Structure 1
Amino acid sequence: MEFREISDEQWKFIKPRLPPQPITGRKRADDRKVINGILFVLITGCRWGDMPVIYGSRATAWRRLKWWSE
């Protein structure tokens, strides 16, 4: 299956539905990049270790999927 990154229109729909950035602590990784990384892995069926680095940390993407899935 072919992967396409989230469009600006899709992002306008998704962004307000995500948990807010914590006020304290370290700044969270870019949500849009992380979601694109998660979708890349889920759509292409590749291993997390093969996720392109342009989507940020593979471990962050995996943790975020786990967190958002709960």
Structure 2
Amino acid sequence: MNNYHINVFYSKDDEGYIADIPDLKFCSAFGATPEEAVHEVEIAKSLWIEAAKASGKPIPEPKYRPAIYQIS
């Protein structure tokens, strides 16, 4: 599977970590630790791609790069 960038951040409101994949709209997951959130978003990514394939929707190529990596 393609290597999509994963953002991980702490949510004070949710009292846990959120992981999301910006290239896959609405693909995110929650975990008590950053590692758990990443594990859960990997599952969500697989399901997101499976659902897109089943419905004939396009699957975007990984393009998102955080600004810190875009500085030359």
TM-score, structure 1 length as denominator?
0.27
Which is greater in Rg? 2
Decide which structure has greater helix share: 1
Relative contact order, CA 8 A, sep 6+: which one is greater? Answer: 1
